[in-house]
Amino acid sequence: MINFREVYIIVEKKNKHIVVIATLDTKSEEAKYLKDLISERGHNPLVINGGIFGHSTFTPDINHGEVAEAAGRTIKEIQSFKGEGEAISAMALGVANIMQNLLSEGKVDGIIAIGGSMGTSLGLKVMQQLPISIPKIMLSSIAFTPMITPESVSIDQVMMQSVGDLWGLNRITKMALQRAAGAICGMVEEQKKEDAGEKPVIAITTLGVHNYADYCKPLLLGKGYEPVVFHSVGTNACEKLIRQGYINGLLDLSIHELVNFVCSGSIKGGEEKITAACEQGIPQVIAPGALDFFTWAGTRETLLQNFRHRNVHMHNPLVYLVQTTPEEKKEIARLLLERVNKTNGPTVFLVPLQGFSRLDREGMPFYDPAAGKEFAGVLKQGSTNRLVEAVEIDAHINDAVFAEKAAELLLEKMS
Amino acid sequence: MINFREVYIIVEKKNKHIVVIATLDTKSEEAKYLKDLISERGHNPLVINGGIFGHSTFTPDINHGEVAEAAGRTIKEIQSFKGEGEAISAMALGVANIMQNLLSEGKVDGIIAIGGSMGTSLGLKVMQQLPISIPKIMLSSIAFTPMITPESVSIDQVMMQSVGDLWGLNRITKMALQRAAGAICGMVEEQKKEDAGEKPVIAITTLGVHNYADYCKPLLLGKGYEPVVFHSVGTNACEKLIRQGYINGLLDLSIHELVNFVCSGSIKGGEEKITAACEQGIPQVIAPGALDFFTWAGTRETLLQNFRHRNVHMHNPLVYLVQTTPEEKKEIARLLLERVNKTNGPTVFLVPLQGFSRLDREGMPFYDPAAGKEFAGVLKQGSTNRLVEAVEIDAHINDAVFAEKAAELLLEKMS
């Protein structure tokens, strides 16, 4: 029995544009197999050859000569580069430029790349330059190895470990390619259109040591806003979405990336922290959530070398939280000011005087109210931008009254 | 116009069993949304609650009490554990046991888990215990952070970075959940059945510094075997597939994981290397490919502290290759022997006397024929198992004659 409503939905879910990126000098058999699976499913694959040398077993839609030209080079020039790293970077630039054209023509519903170490570096680089509206998959034989760093992936990356090396078709590589095709097709098919007239978005940054997001949520929903929470684990997802125009207001209540940046901790993203909202000029309330510690991902042995005199809390055997010193806290305040003084939007510092995390509270290991006061002092005295003000509140960051005040201040600035 | 052949294919691709794992104490809204998307696509979601506490907004198919029981506990006991790490490990054991039952009943075509740090640790643990025949996706807010180590993922893991934290439904989390649903549905839909009567599989381990796989390929294909290549990047994919019964013979021509194990390099997997084929008793030829260096993933500064007197080759600014010492080479030979002496299958050591990688060749930085000879000497004298023999060949590991000899020796043992 055919259900005609279902058939209608299925037809609507076809004919999506899916870009396939591969280095066809070594991966043409695999790319052809992937392309055919995408076609069989009713979509339109477009293959771009990011490979430096020749020998593809089929003709791609965009060949490596065109990629080189899009990078302002000839393929002969790139082939003559001494370092393979330099050559693949030039190819990545070319593919990225081509992607921008395809995007503006509405010809990208999803993107998939396959590769070993060269193809993976190319694929990830290209995907990092695409907005989150485009689903992206990297099928890689080095997906989860020390070669892939958190900074090298997109904020919405899908990464698929290839069990066998992508070296010819066999039952193991075919299985991986079938799944990769299924995943990218399924992703573009399921992607719903965003509703017009949606509520303005307020981003909230947080860590597990905070619970203010739960207090803020009903307040923001009640006023017609949509809260979106970002985990301060160093992906810079919040900053990237602000730059892509998805965020209307910011409760930046965890500055954990910045703390790690100053203290050389393990969480990345400190370079970008605070800067996006300031550049875009969206209203923001900033509080020093998780100022009291930085994160150290490693064994106790590697930790002790550098920080053996500090207060240390074991989060689990591989992740330690290390207390920041009063001097580091002041340094973080100075860096905060330096960045915020350049803001183009209304900004409030909200400093809770009774502590900045679950561990920084009377009776808890990182409690240090004197250092907190010094931190607040630096902030209060340092603003040179009339858009910035500093407000103190005699509460702990996890108290309901703090969350309510933060939300209230932001809503004032947004109205 | 309806194409009836297409409708037939579509109907065939429905009604797959997809297991959804989430900690419903904090992620029930998100899990419900995901479950509904999977149902709408015509599949059968089965939700397992791995959460320790209560408060789900809907009734899962398998609740946390049943999970606790499957781990030999009560949920009250687990709730009273002091450490959350211990509690989530118990829940992971329970879910893994339930999965084994579902698998044996044929009720798992795919699995998807969602989570923050707790849910991710649970999801990854469960997926690691499933065979590669089951597609697996982890949607995680900590997907690409220092908290996720290469050892914590499956050899066919699909990992999806959640842009926003999984904290309620909003346009950002809905987009992520739609894509996750699409990806897992697409993966189970595209998975083809393995053909009956397929050729026996020969696994080849290699690194970029070798090209023997290209020489072996036509030889093995010509004799009716299917070669599958594994990149020696420490995923232990080859060992795991041997244990799952996918591999009939092994050309273990890169022992890079073992080298890193002995030298404390960055590539993992040395604990398992060599052991799987010995236990399963499949025929194998072992050669010391990439014995001449180990891999160091880190900056030059971290490297120099420990190995400043060594020959070092920069692979790229984040990955260095460090020459092994003659003493380390002998230590690796002893460890190889220790493992191989326990083998249950015919084993040949094939030692190419002119060098073990592209960098270990006359005129190249890691060339050290005296150390290579010592290595071969240890191997030749040390075998105590009558199934093991050592053969020398006066060639470089990248010469065609080496590859041909390796293939020929293995085919002899397999016939």
- Spacing of C-alpha A87 from chain mean position: 26
- What pLDDT digit, counting tens, does each position of B284-309 carry? 999 999 999 999 987 777 777 778 88
ipTM: 0.92
Gap between the Cα atoms of B282 and B278, Å rounded = 7
Would the CB atoms of B190 and A172 count as touching at under 8 Å?
Answer: no
Residue of A nearest to B42 (CA): A6
Closest CA to A359 of A376, A372, A378: A372
Gap between the Cα atoms of A259 and A265, Å rounded = 8
A164 CA: distance to closest CA in chain B (Å): 5
Gap between the Cα atoms of B163 and B181, Å rounded = 16
Token digits of residue B335: 């460890």
With a cut of 80, say whether residue B318 has pLDDT above it: no
Residues in contact with A376: Cβ distance below 8 Å, sequence separation at least 6, in sequence order: A351, A353, A390, A392
Percent of chain B beyond pLDDT 90? 80
Gap between the Cα atoms of A385 and B216, Å rounded = 69
For the CA atoms of chain B, what is the radius of gyration? 25
Would the CB atoms of B159 and A158 count as touching at under 8 Å?
Answer: yes
Interface of A with B in 8-67 (CB under 8 A): 10, 37, 41-42
Q: Tell me, what's the pLDDT at A348?
A: 97
Would the CB atoms of B179 and A201 count as touching at under 8 Å?
Answer: no
Q: Tell me, what's the pLDDT at A195?
A: 59
- Is residue A156 within 8 Å of A132, Cβ to Cβ? yes
Token digits of residue B313: 């080759």
Tell me the helices (H) and strands (E) count for chain A, helix number first. Answer: 15, 14
Nearest CB neighbour to B231, from listed A116, A172, A231: A116
Nearest CB neighbour to A37, from listed B142, B184, B190: B190
Task: For residue A24, give the amino acid letter.
Answer: L
With a cut of 60, say whether residue B196 has pLDDT above it: no
- What pLDDT digit, counting tens, does each position of A64-114 carry? 999 999 999 999 999 999 888 889 999 999 999 999 999 999 999 999 999
Gap between the Cα atoms of B301 and B317, Å rounded = 11
- What pLDDT digit, counting tens, does each position of A137-189 carry? 999 999 998 888 888 999 999 999 999 999 899 999 999 999 999 999 999 99
Most B CBs within 10 Å, among A154, A166, A228, to test the B interface: A228
For chain B, the average pLDDT equals 93
Element spanning A326, H or E: helix A326-340
Nearest CB neighbour to A144, from listed B157, B297, B316: B157
End-to-end CA, chain A:
55
Ordered domains of chain A (ranges, CATH): 14-190 (3.40.50.12020), 201-414 (3.40.50.12030)
Q: Tell me, what's the pLDDT at A415?
A: 87
- Spacing of C-alpha B42 from chain mean position: 31
- What pLDDT digit, counting tens, does each position of B108-158 carry? 999 999 998 889 999 999 999 999 999 999 999 999 988 888 889 999 999
pLDDT tens-digit profile, chain A (415 residues): 567 677 667 767 889 999 999 999 999 999 999 999 999 999 999 999 999 997 788 999 999 999 999 999 999 999 999 888 889 999 999 999 999 999 999 999 999 999 988 899 999 999 999 999 999 999 999 999 888 888 899 999 999 999 999 989 999 999 999 999 999 999 999 988 765 567 999 999 999 888 999 999 999 999 999 999 999 989 999 999 999 999 999 999 999 999 999 999 999 999 999 999 999 999 999 999 999 999 998 777 777 777 888 999 887 777 889 999 999 999 999 999 999 999 999 999 999 999 999 999 999 999 999 999 999 999 988 888 999 999 999 999 999 999 999 999 999 999 8
Gap between the Cα atoms of A155 and B121, Å rounded = 20
Q: Decide: residue A362, CB within 10 A, 0-12 exposed, 13-18 middle, 19+ buried.
A: exposed
B373 CA: distance to closest CA in chain A (Å): 31
DSSP B262-311: HHT-S---TTTTTHHHHHHT--EEEEEET-SEEEEES-HHHHHHHHTTS-
Q: Tell me, what's the pLDDT at A145?
A: 86
CA torsion sign for B93, B97, B102, B108 is positive
Residues in contact with B401: Cβ distance below 8 Å, sequence separation at least 6, in sequence order: B393, B395
Closest CA to A153 of B409, B269, B143: B143
- Is residue A266 within 8 Å of A242, Cβ to Cβ? no
Interface of B with A in 264-303 (CB under 8 A): 266-267, 295, 297
DSSP A253-301: EE-HHHHHHHHT-S---TTTTTHHHHHHT--EEEEEET-SEEEEES-HH
Q: Point out which residues pair with B136 in neighbouring strands.
A: B111
Gap between the Cα atoms of B57 and B59, Å rounded = 7
- What pLDDT digit, counting tens, does each position of B216-257 carry? 999 999 999 999 999 998 999 999 999 999 999 999 999 999
Residues in contact with B120: Cβ distance below 8 Å, sequence separation at least 6, in sequence order: B113, B138, B140, B141, B142, B143, B147, B148
Q: Tell me, what's the pLDDT at A13?
A: 80
Token digits of residue B411: 């085919």
With a cut of 70, say whether residue B343 has pLDDT above it: yes
Would the CB atoms of A165 and B206 count as touching at under 8 Å?
Answer: yes
Residue owning tokens 């397999």: B414
The mean pLDDT value for B343-368 works out to 95
The mean pLDDT value for B3-16 works out to 75
